Copies of this chain bind each other. A is one copy, B any other.
Amino acid sequence: MKKLDMREKLKNNGMKSTKHRVAILEILIKKDQPVSAENIFFDMQKMDVSINLSTVYRNLEALAEKGLVTKLSLSGDNRSVFEYNKMVHRHYLICLGCKKILAIEHCPIKSYEHQIEDETDYEIVGHKLDLYGYCPKCKKNNPGYQPKNSQD
Protein backbone atom coordinates (compact mmCIF):
# COMPACT_ATOMS: atom_id res chain seq x y z
CA MET A 1 0.00 0.00 0.00
CA LYS A 2 1.36 3.38 -1.01
CA LYS A 3 1.72 6.43 1.17
CA LEU A 4 -1.02 8.20 -0.72
CA ASP A 5 -3.42 5.33 -0.16
CA MET A 6 -2.65 5.43 3.53
CA ARG A 7 -3.32 9.14 3.72
CA GLU A 8 -6.60 8.41 1.95
CA LYS A 9 -7.42 5.64 4.37
CA LEU A 10 -6.75 7.86 7.37
CA LYS A 11 -9.00 10.58 6.01
CA ASN A 12 -11.75 8.12 5.16
CA ASN A 13 -11.72 7.17 8.80
CA GLY A 14 -11.99 10.75 9.94
CA MET A 15 -8.39 11.03 11.05
CA LYS A 16 -5.93 13.74 10.19
CA SER A 17 -3.12 12.41 8.06
CA THR A 18 0.23 13.02 9.72
CA LYS A 19 3.65 11.71 8.80
CA HIS A 20 3.67 9.81 12.10
CA ARG A 21 0.47 7.95 11.36
CA VAL A 22 1.53 7.13 7.83
CA ALA A 23 4.87 5.82 9.09
CA ILE A 24 3.19 3.69 11.76
CA LEU A 25 0.87 2.15 9.20
CA GLU A 26 3.79 1.55 6.85
CA ILE A 27 5.69 -0.27 9.55
CA LEU A 28 2.73 -2.39 10.62
CA ILE A 29 1.83 -3.32 7.07
CA LYS A 30 5.40 -4.18 6.19
CA LYS A 31 5.87 -6.36 9.28
CA ASP A 32 2.58 -8.21 8.86
CA GLN A 33 2.83 -9.48 12.42
CA PRO A 34 2.20 -8.02 15.87
CA VAL A 35 4.85 -5.62 17.18
CA SER A 36 5.22 -3.61 20.37
CA ALA A 37 4.91 0.16 20.62
CA GLU A 38 8.58 0.35 21.48
CA ASN A 39 9.54 -1.63 18.38
CA ILE A 40 7.56 0.77 16.24
CA PHE A 41 9.27 3.66 18.01
CA PHE A 42 12.71 2.25 17.17
CA ASP A 43 11.75 1.48 13.59
CA MET A 44 10.63 5.06 13.15
CA GLN A 45 13.97 6.32 14.36
CA LYS A 46 15.65 4.08 11.80
CA MET A 47 13.39 5.64 9.16
CA ASP A 48 14.50 9.07 10.38
CA VAL A 49 10.99 9.91 11.51
CA SER A 50 11.52 11.60 14.84
CA ILE A 51 8.72 10.83 17.28
CA ASN A 52 8.03 10.58 20.99
CA LEU A 53 7.07 7.22 22.47
CA SER A 54 3.90 8.67 23.94
CA THR A 55 2.87 9.82 20.48
CA VAL A 56 3.34 6.28 19.24
CA TYR A 57 0.95 5.11 21.95
CA ARG A 58 -1.55 7.84 21.23
CA ASN A 59 -1.55 7.07 17.53
CA LEU A 60 -1.82 3.36 18.04
CA GLU A 61 -4.77 3.94 20.32
CA ALA A 62 -6.41 6.24 17.78
CA LEU A 63 -5.81 3.77 14.96
CA ALA A 64 -7.20 0.93 17.05
CA GLU A 65 -10.21 3.08 17.92
CA LYS A 66 -10.95 3.42 14.21
CA GLY A 67 -10.35 -0.26 13.65
CA LEU A 68 -7.32 0.19 11.39
CA VAL A 69 -5.07 -1.48 13.90
CA THR A 70 -5.60 -4.29 16.37
CA LYS A 71 -4.16 -4.34 19.87
CA LEU A 72 -3.41 -7.72 21.40
CA SER A 73 -1.80 -8.93 24.55
CA LEU A 74 -0.11 -12.26 24.17
CA SER A 75 0.45 -14.41 27.18
CA GLY A 76 3.69 -14.26 29.09
CA ASP A 77 4.56 -10.80 27.93
CA ASN A 78 3.25 -7.87 29.89
CA ARG A 79 3.34 -5.50 27.01
CA SER A 80 0.79 -5.12 24.28
CA VAL A 81 1.49 -5.72 20.63
CA PHE A 82 -0.21 -4.13 17.65
CA GLU A 83 -0.84 -5.24 14.11
CA TYR A 84 -2.41 -3.80 11.01
CA ASN A 85 -5.99 -4.95 10.92
CA LYS A 86 -6.43 -6.89 7.71
CA MET A 87 -10.00 -7.59 8.78
CA VAL A 88 -9.36 -11.29 8.81
CA HIS A 89 -9.69 -13.53 11.79
CA ARG A 90 -6.29 -14.77 12.89
CA HIS A 91 -4.54 -16.87 15.43
CA TYR A 92 -0.96 -16.67 16.56
CA LEU A 93 1.83 -19.15 16.92
CA ILE A 94 4.37 -17.83 19.39
CA CYS A 95 7.84 -19.30 19.56
CA LEU A 96 8.82 -19.77 23.20
CA GLY A 97 12.45 -19.64 22.18
CA CYS A 98 12.93 -16.54 20.07
CA LYS A 99 9.47 -14.98 20.79
CA LYS A 100 8.74 -14.64 17.11
CA ILE A 101 5.03 -14.44 16.35
CA LEU A 102 3.54 -16.14 13.33
CA ALA A 103 0.00 -15.32 12.24
CA ILE A 104 -2.25 -18.17 11.17
CA GLU A 105 -5.44 -17.54 9.30
CA HIS A 106 -7.18 -20.86 9.42
CA CYS A 107 -9.63 -21.06 12.32
CA PRO A 108 -11.21 -24.26 13.58
CA ILE A 109 -13.35 -22.74 16.34
CA LYS A 110 -16.75 -21.67 15.00
CA SER A 111 -18.63 -24.86 15.74
CA TYR A 112 -17.02 -25.05 19.16
CA GLU A 113 -18.38 -21.59 19.93
CA HIS A 114 -21.89 -22.69 19.13
CA GLN A 115 -21.51 -25.73 21.28
CA ILE A 116 -20.37 -23.61 24.25
CA GLU A 117 -23.20 -21.15 23.68
CA ASP A 118 -25.66 -24.02 23.98
CA GLU A 119 -23.97 -25.38 27.08
CA THR A 120 -23.57 -22.11 28.97
CA ASP A 121 -26.31 -19.81 27.71
CA TYR A 122 -23.64 -17.15 27.10
CA GLU A 123 -23.62 -15.11 23.92
CA ILE A 124 -20.16 -15.59 22.46
CA VAL A 125 -18.88 -12.74 20.35
CA GLY A 126 -15.33 -13.82 19.71
CA HIS A 127 -12.32 -15.78 20.82
CA LYS A 128 -8.60 -15.69 20.98
CA LEU A 129 -6.45 -18.71 20.27
CA ASP A 130 -2.71 -18.65 20.67
CA LEU A 131 -0.46 -21.60 20.04
CA TYR A 132 2.89 -21.92 21.80
CA GLY A 133 5.83 -23.90 20.65
CA TYR A 134 9.23 -23.82 19.05
CA CYS A 135 10.07 -22.69 15.58
CA PRO A 136 12.26 -24.95 13.44
CA LYS A 137 15.40 -23.08 14.51
CA CYS A 138 14.69 -23.04 18.26
CA LYS A 139 13.44 -26.62 18.13
CA LYS A 140 17.00 -27.71 17.38
CA ASN A 141 18.44 -25.68 20.22
CA ASN A 142 15.97 -26.92 22.85
CA PRO A 143 15.42 -30.58 22.06
CA GLY A 144 12.88 -32.18 24.34
CA TYR A 145 12.13 -29.11 26.39
CA GLN A 146 8.69 -29.21 27.99
CA PRO A 147 7.14 -26.20 29.70
CA LYS A 148 5.50 -26.66 33.07
CA ASN A 149 2.06 -25.62 31.87
CA SER A 150 1.02 -26.56 28.42
CA GLN A 151 -1.90 -24.13 28.59
CA ASP A 152 0.25 -21.17 29.34
Contact = CB atoms under 8 A, between A and B. Distances in A.
Interface in A47-66: none
Interface string A74-87: 01101000000100
Interface stretch (A6-14, A15-23, A117-125): A117-125
A38 B95 CA distance: 30
A125 B147 contact: yes
| Range, interface on chain A | 35 or more
Interface string A130-146: 11111110010000011
Contacts of A135: 120, 122
A147 B85 CA distance: 14
Q: Which of A70, A126, A152: most chain B Cβ within 10 A?
A: A126
A148 interface: yes
A72 B77 CA distance: 10
A96 B60 CA distance: 22
Given A152-B71, A152-B72, A113 B131 contact: yes
Interface string A103-129: 010001100110011001111111111
A108 to B, nearest CB: 5
A29 interface: no
A95 B127 CA distance: 11
Interface of A: 67, 70-73, 75-76, 78, 85, 89-90, 93, 95-96, 102, 104, 108-109, 112-113, 116-117, 120-136, 139, 145-152
